[in-house]
């Protein structure tokens, strides 16, 4: 019993020292003293393995090797953020918020937007049980073993934490830590890493966790999701998370107006260069969680948050040549091939020129000196030409008239910005592009198969379309370049496993023009089977919520092509999911078809999202704001008086949660 008490006392002491050193940056003992205590604990744990604890400080050093990172579904989706770049953007966002919430006083929490790798940590009973990368927002990779080596991530919480929750944040490298890593690499004769963000992201997928433990990674946290959190606001959430032992940045402000928000932005646009981390903007959030709940989300982002991006860095360089890429839909994209230049931490060699109109508008020519910036800090773009450096005699750019790959004459439809190659079945980049889209993470997510392998399989004549993937054998794959028995086996197994992917993602994977993830979900929900969708008329398709004429026309065109129907029939025989599952169909009905609901307030029986799902499962539509088209306002406790007044003025029927439940 004495040994157990000694072990528990040492663990408690070391956790506290860890917290003071890595979270508070306020150590009270030397590194040497810490190491002596850690070795003492390790020796006791080795001697008494029956007292094993997965949250012990001795397990921070890593050593476990992960061959394949398991893909896990997020219990709560990880959304991306909408961006703003001006005062006008911010004011427009505020107007949209007030339109939905009505006449209420809205406060905003401002936090710096740290440039790292997004992570979601799950805690149960105060213990870290899971760490998952953002992935596509719906699912990510399980990197728990690697995250446990990061000293600022608590393995055991303290204080009044909820029984279960997810906390989101960024894995980052400090500028000092990154510089030190590069000094060590160059001393060993190796190439330096390009930037802290990509290096932090790459660290999470290292197979050997002991290598991750050697890197000076930190985890900065900013958002908690889960049931029964008993937290009223974003600002309170930050304070709570700090008290439980998380490293939460102290730079945050509570603002009463967008003017105060802009002052925060202006200050940090100048002073961000004094920070130990890279940051590319300010995240502005509606402070009250009840209002966040009421504002909800669009298909991609929360309506209650906005990333205000700092002014993009700009550099000038030489445009050597304009080349042209062919996408999977046949769209032609002109690309500027640049003299390599360092921009926002990465070497830029290429930038998109978008289309013929953009080239003409900029009057950009091969041999020009151009100004390049990163649009939204991600995609480099040419913003102007330095005419003072234009050599004499430079000829205007002449846009190509034939496909650079298959030499088919290009077409440009009226109202379209881009030129297209119409040779869908014979143009190699279109064929491989459709297959690459099919296997992508948000579509069929086929493990063991990447873009380069698709190109190789096509070049070797093993595949001509995505249905051919389901006929591949290990014997066909093994003789190929860079292929071996294990990689061939993984590829075939990955293709087989994709047969379980649900209908809406299979529909998205088919690559129908204008049918993205959200549209695919709406069509799958409306028609339930591929056969019903294939038989739908244009009029019927347009009648589906948010399906316009352009989408309907594209769906009709896709299924009118005999080759596409043949591929779908083949995929059916291979066992892909072409109808909603029984689980998805359960509790679904057309009871609320044609009716639009606005949900507002706090409810007793259901959480707001559960209530919205019930509306959609029964054929109804959920809207964020009241209008003359609103059928019902489902009113909960603490609903704003202005929303009730607007509903009454427009003659919208106001019902309670119980009234609604009786309807369905």
**Which is it for strands 314-326 and 332-343: parallel, antiparallel or unpaired?**
antiparallel
CA distance 554 to 522: 15
Q: What's the longest Cα–Cα distance across the chain?
A: 89
Let me know: does 344 contact 337? Beta carbons within 8 Å.
no
CA distance 537 to 449: 36
Q: Which bin fits 296, alpha (ψ -120 to 50), beta or left (φ > 0)?
A: left
Closest CA to 360 of 419, 422, 405: 419
Q: Which residue has the tokens 């909408």?
A: 82
**Per-residue three-class SS string for 548-573:** CHHHHHHHHHHHHCHHHHHHHHHHHH
Number of CB atoms found within 10 A of residue 469's CB: 24
CA torsion sign, 367 to 368 to 374 to 376?
A: negative
DSSP at 106? -
Annotated catalytic sites, by residue? 113
Helix (H, G, I), strand (E, B) or coil at 584: helix
Please report, for the chain, how many H helices and E strands are present, in that order: 25, 20
H or E element, residue 88: helix 87-101
**Per-residue three-class SS string for 201-255:** HHHCCCCEHHHHHCCCEEEEEEEEECCCCCCCEHHHHHHHHHHCCCCCCCCEEEE
**Which is it for strands 653-655 and 596-600: parallel, antiparallel or unpaired?**
unpaired
Helix axes 31-47, 2-18, angle to 10 degrees: 150
Q: Which residues does residue 319 pair with via DSSP β-bridges, in sequence order?
A: 338
- Long-range contacts of range 586-590, CB-CB < 8 Å, 24 or more positions apart? 587/617, 588/617, 588/618, 588/619, 589/617, 589/618, 589/619, 589/664, 590/618, 590/619
CA distance 654 to 640: 13
């Amino acid at each position: 019993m004495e040994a157990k008490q000694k072990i528990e006392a040492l663990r408690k002491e070391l956790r506290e020292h860890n917290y003071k050193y890595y979270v508070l940056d306020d150590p009270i003992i030397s590194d040497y003293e810490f190491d002596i205590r850690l070795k003492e604990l390790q020796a006791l744990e080795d001697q008494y393995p029956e007292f094993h604890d997965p949250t012990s400080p001795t397990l921070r050093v890593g050593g476990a090797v992960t061959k394949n990172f398991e893909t896990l579904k997020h219990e709560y989706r990880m959304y991306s953020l909408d961006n703003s770049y001006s005062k006008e953007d911010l004011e427009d966002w505020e107007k949209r918020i007030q339109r939905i919430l009505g006449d209420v006083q809205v406060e905003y929490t401002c936090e710096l937007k740290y440039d790292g790798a997004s992570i979601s940590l799950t805690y149960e009973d105060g213990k870290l049980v899971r760490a998952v990368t953002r992935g596509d927002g719906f699912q990510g990779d399980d990197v728990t073993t690697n995250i446990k080596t990061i000293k600022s991530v608590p393995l055991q919480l303290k204080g009044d934490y909820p029984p279960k929750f997810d906390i989101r944040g960024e894995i980052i490298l400090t500028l000092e830590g990154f510089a030190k890593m590069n000094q060590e690499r160059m001393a060993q004769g190796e190439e330096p890493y390009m930037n802290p963000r990509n290096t932090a992201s790459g660290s999470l997928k290292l197979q050997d966790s002991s290598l991750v433990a050697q890197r000076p990674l930190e985890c900065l946290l900013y958002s908690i999701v889960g049931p029964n959190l008993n937290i009223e606001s974003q600002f309170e959430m930050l304070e709570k998370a700090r008290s439980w032992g998380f490293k939460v940045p102290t730079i945050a402000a509570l603002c009463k107006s967008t003017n105060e928000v802009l002052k925060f932005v202006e200050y940090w646009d100048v002073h961000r260069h004094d920070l130990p981390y890279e940051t590319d903007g300010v995240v502005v959030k509606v402070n009250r969680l009840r209002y966040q709940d009421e504002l909800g989300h669009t298909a991609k982002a929360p309506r209650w948050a906005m990333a205000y991006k700092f002014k993009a860095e700009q550099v000038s360089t030489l445009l050597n040549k304009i080349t042209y890429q062919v996408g999977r839909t046949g769209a032609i994209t002109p690309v500027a091939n640049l003299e390599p230049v360092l921009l926002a931490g990465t070497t830029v060699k290429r930038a998109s020129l978008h289309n013929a109109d953009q080239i003409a508008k900029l009057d950009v020519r091969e041999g020009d000196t151009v100004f390049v910036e990163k649009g939204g800090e991600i995609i480099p773009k040419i913003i102007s030409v330095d005419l003072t450096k234009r050599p004499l005699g430079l000829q205007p750019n002449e846009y190509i008239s034939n496909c650079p790959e298959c030499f088919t004459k290009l077409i440009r439809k009226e109202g379209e910005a881009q030129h297209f190659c119409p040779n869908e079945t014979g143009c190699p980049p279109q064929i491989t592009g459709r297959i690459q889209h099919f296997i992508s993470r948000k579509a069929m997510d086929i493990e063991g198969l990447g873009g380069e392998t698709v190109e190789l399989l096509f070049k070797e004549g093993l595949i001509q379309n995505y249905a051919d993937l389901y006929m591949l054998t290990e014997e066909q794959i093994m003789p190929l370049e860079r292929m071996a028995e294990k990689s061939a086996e993984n590829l075939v197994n990955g293709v087989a496993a994709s047969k379980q992917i649900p209908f809406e993602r299979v529909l998205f994977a088919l690559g129908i023009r204008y049918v993205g993830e959200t549209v695919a979900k709406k069509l799958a929900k409306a028609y339930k089977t591929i056969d019903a969708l294939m038989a739908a008329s244009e009029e019927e398709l347009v009648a589906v919520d948010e399906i316009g004429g352009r989408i309907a026309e594209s769906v009709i065109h896709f299924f009118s092509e005999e080759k596409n129907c043949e591929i779908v029939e083949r995929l059916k025989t291979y066992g892909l999911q072409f109808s909603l599952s029984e689980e998805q169909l359960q509790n679904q009905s057309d009871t609320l078809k044609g009716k639009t609901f606005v949900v507002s307030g706090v409810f007793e029986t259901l959480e707001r999202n559960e209530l919205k799902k019930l509306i959609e499962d029964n054929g109804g539509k959920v809207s964020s704001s009241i209008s003359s088209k609103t059928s019902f306002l489902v009113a909960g406790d603490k609903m704003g008086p202005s929303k009730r007044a607007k509903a009454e003025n427009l003659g919208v029927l106001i019902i309670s949660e119980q009234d609604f439940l009786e309807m369905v």
